[in-house]
Structure 1
Amino acid sequence: MSTSEFRPPYMPLTERDHALKERGFALLNAAETAQWLGADEADLARLHAIWDDLPSDDYMKDGGRYRRRRHSCFEVEGGAVTQVAHRAHWQPLQYNALHGGMQRWFEPMDEGVVASPVWKRLLAGVGAAATALHGARPWFVEAHPFRIDTTDGIGRPTPEGAHRDGVDLVAVFMVARHQIKGGESRVFEAEGPNGQRFTLREPWSLLLLDDARVIHESTPIQPMVDGEMGWRDTLVLTYRRGGFQGD
């Protein structure tokens, strides 16, 4: 695997909404993200602790053991954040050819985390970006804390390949990387030739995607040192108008 990397094209927070409208994606560094969401290092460190207690994803059709996750759902309207009853994660085959078309039940997120002020600010803040892009409305939000590790020697952050999620806005927080190489993010126009590739390394840097306009993927990860475990932690939030997929 090549060790060369493309640097993330970070932008000032003030350019976030314009970049989403013009290019279909926006990329904020950790400092800009923390400023936007009103979260300090202690807040984010407490939030990151939940990644050490993610159950295995038992739905992997490629036979992999490299993915751990939880899943919870919310409604966001303005600054109001409400957790909804636990439900299955469902995607149509159109958007996920590998795992679409089936109900996948994952363990919910920790109650203390989802009740915390920083979590509510985070969901409401990303909701403001969705509203700036698509107009004010209730947003139906699915939250996915992921850990992709090198249990199998290689881990695939997006085993379904380059894809869209069938929502209005996708937020991908790079939470942590530990002793890995790879994991390059790639964003391409859904209806055009242009694309960007870069490797996210800053904890709590953020990639925002207009799901209708771009497709995205992340390349596989490998351990930095053979025989030693490595992992990549991310938080993926999806915002959708009109209801959750599968309703």
Structure 2
Amino acid sequence: MTTPFVPPAVAAAALAPTLIRQGYAVLDAAAVRDWLGLGADALAALNPAWDDLPLDEYLKDGGRYRRRRHGCFIVEGDRIAPVPPRAHYQPLEYNALHGGMRRWFAPLTDALLAQPAWPRLLQRTAAAASALRGAQPWYVEAHPFRIDTTGGIGRPTPEGAHRDGVDLVAVFLVGRHCIKGGESRVFEADGPNGQRFTLTEPWSALLLDDTRVIHETTPIQPVAPGEPGWRDTLVLTCRAGGFLGD
């Protein structure tokens, strides 16, 4: 088993400068709490939502290892406008495996949306996008994911290293249970350089300038045969001008 590389975490105050300088930034759990202005209990109160995710029926590799929901919002400053349920769409140029089709996923639950931490996550992620591109309305898509090992292996990014076709991607590690693998890899979109590390701390985060870097996460496996395992994440994407597919 490969020894996990430690994430190159920065302080909350260094998030924007780091994103601007290198195209990505990692926050450990303490820095995420500082950045959001939330306590650990407020974030932990979100966790039960990951036990209520329907199966992703669109996986072209035939896998049954991914569960998810989907929701959309328009965020401008502190104002959040929920968007009626809509399909998730990515062109083939961004997702060679699942692009080019409109995928309808179950909506976010009322229980998740009612948590006080939820609007703060949207507001602060949109603020990070504004630090990169200037203040404006942000078209935000929210994806709670659970990747599990019930089939022996789970693939967080079956499409491989990719861009999402947005301005900013924020990947929050909600939790890991009885798994190995799940290494995050970030590469320059137009160069040879890259970084690899493993997020292991609940509610740590990786933020990416999607125009400058590509990213992927390696497959996960159970730590012991017959022992169920999973990796839970929340992915928030911010795009200027509209949602992909409009």
Q: Same fold (TM over 0.5)?
A: yes
Post-superposition offset of 1:96: 0.3
Q: Which residue pairs with 1:54 in the alignment?
A: 53
Contact 2:45 2:115 in 1 (8 A): no
Q: How does 1:73-88 map to 2 (within 5 A)?
A: 73-88=72-87
User: What do the CA deviations read for 1:58-78 (whole angstroms, capped 9, x no partner)?
Assistant: 000000000000000000000
SS for the counterpart of 1:177 is strand
User: What do the CA deviations read for 1:10-59 (whole angstroms, capped 9, x no partner)?
Assistant: 01112111111110001000011011112222211210110001000000
Q: Which residue pairs with 1:212 in the alignment?
A: 211
Q: How does 1:10-89 map to 2 (within 5 A)?
A: 10-89=9-88
Post-superposition offset of 1:3: 2.5
Q: Which residue pairs with 2:107 in the alignment?
A: 108
Distance 1:112 1:242 in 2: 29
Greater shift, 19-28 or 38-47, is seen at 38-47
Post-superposition offset of 1:140: 0.2
Distance 2:84 2:107 in 1: 10
Letter of the structure 1 residue corresponding to residue 155 of structure 2: R
Letter of the structure 1 residue corresponding to residue 18 of structure 2: A
Distance 2:215 2:141 in 1: 18
Segments of 5+ residues of structure 2 without an aligned counterpart are: none
Q: Which residue pairs with 2:149 in the alignment?
A: 150
Post-superposition offset of 1:151: 1.3
Post-superposition offset of 1:172: 0.1
Post-superposition offset of 1:113: 2.0
Q: Which residue pairs with 2:96 in the alignment?
A: 97
Distance 1:229 1:19 in 2: 37
Letter of the structure 1 residue corresponding to residue 49 of structure 2: I
Letter of the structure 2 residue corresponding to residue 18 of structure 1: P
Contact 2:49 2:111 in 1 (8 A): no
SS for the counterpart of 2:227 is coil
Letter of the structure 1 residue corresponding to residue 15 of structure 2: R
- CA RMSD of the aligned region, Å? 0.8
Letter of the structure 2 residue corresponding to residue 63 of structure 1: G
Q: Which runs of 4+ in 1 moved over 2 A?
A: none
Distance 2:63 2:219 in 1: 12
Distance 1:162 1:17 in 2: 24
Q: Does 1:200 find its partner at 2:199?
A: yes
Distance 2:224 2:43 in 1: 28
Letter of the structure 2 residue corresponding to residue 225 of structure 1: A
SS for the counterpart of 2:8 is coil
Distance 2:145 2:38 in 1: 20
Distance 2:237 2:114 in 1: 19
Give the number of aligned pairs: 246
Distance 2:85 2:74 in 1: 12
SS for the counterpart of 1:121 is helix
TM-score w.r.t. length of structure 1: 0.98
Letter of the structure 2 residue corresponding to residue 97 of structure 1: A
Percent of pairs with identical residues: 67
Post-superposition offset of 1:117: 2.6
SS for the counterpart of 2:46 is helix
Segments of 5+ residues of structure 1 without an aligned counterpart are: none
Letter of the structure 1 residue corresponding to residue 80 of structure 2: V
Q: Which residue pairs with 1:239 in the alignment?
A: 238
Q: How does 1:112-131 map to 2 (within 5 A)?
A: 112-131=111-130
User: What do the CA deviations read for 1:102-131 (whole angstroms, capped 9, x no partner)?
Assistant: 010000011232243311011001111100
